[in-house]
Amino acid sequence: MIPLTAHLPDGPLSVAAVRAVDDRLRALVEPAVAPRVAGADGVALRVHGTGPACVLWIHGGGMFLGAAEYDDAFCCDLAAALGATVVAVDYRLAPEHPHPAPLHDCRTALAWCAARHERVVVAGGSAGGGLAAALCLLTRDEGGPAIAAAHLYYPMLDDRHETPSAAENADAPVWNRRLADVAWEAYLGGRTADAYAAPARAENLRGLPPTYLDTGGLDLFRDEDAGYARRLAEAGVPTVFELVPGGVHAFEVYDPAAEASIATRERRLAALRRSLREDFRTW
């Protein structure tokens, strides 16, 4: 894949301008084989593999870019490696559908998965990781469906950009402050973020599912991610946190052959296998 930041125009960014660049770059990528397609109350789902346990995968893209189909190859490989079902939710995008519409689509997808599988893990990268974290908060507060564990990869959790890494890595490759500002403006639609929009704002993290979280040392989100992991652990949530030195946002996607990328994929896969078969309260 080609980093989006290297092709952005100078000056103020808009959703339309970023989408135009993203569309051009996506056109250079060969499409994957299409999976089974299902629907849940109007929400499209892409279903990979079979198995009694399920991973609900939530794609990234700052809440305003991307689609579930872009992760077909990843989800297909993941389902095969885990011997499980992987369901990718094609949630509605901001700004046409601002918060809480994308989160509610993920909730609908979770209910569909829970009705068909004995154990469901939620996972996502970047904005998808933020939605996964928000989904855990929402389902805790609403009383279900049960989530066995959450796996959050460099999640987008905080709209405030007040951490040291937000300043240090403001011009980082792959995802920078300019893109983050466009993303949050689109997602919030002019409203103040609550904890279901920006999980880092949540005051109470008790009772959330066991959580695996990783991020890169050069990621814009590094400190908000590390802080969230620390607060989860302090709230009694079984938590595994991994910081990858030198890793930029989505490092394992853009440099897949790097030693750190290979190790990260293996670590994530091992953690997912555990989440799908046993209670992580023993973490």
Which residues carry out catalysis? Answer: 126, 219, 249
Residue 155: what residue type? Answer: P
How far, CA to CA in Å, does 155 sit from each of 10, 219, 277?
A: 26, 10, 24
Calculate the alpha carbon distances from 176 to 5, 141, 180, 260, 281 in Å: 7, 32, 6, 21, 35
Contact 214, 244 (CB under 8 A): yes
Return all residues near 42 (Cβ < 8 A) that are at least 6 apart: 108
Expressed in percent and rounded to 5, the helix, strand and coil fractions of the chain are: 45, 15, 40
* Residue tagged 């993203």 (tokens): 22
Rg of the chain over all Cα atoms, to the nearest angstrom: 17
Residues 6+ apart with CB under 8 A from 252: 258, 260, 261, 264, 265
**What's 26's DSSP letter?**
H
Residue found by looking up tokens 């855990």 in the block: 136
**Largest distance between two CA atoms of the chain:** 50
Q: Which among 221, 91, 97 has a CA at the least distance from the CA of 159?
A: 221
Distances in Å between the alpha carbon of 116 and those of 50, 54, 83, 113, 156? 11, 9, 16, 5, 29
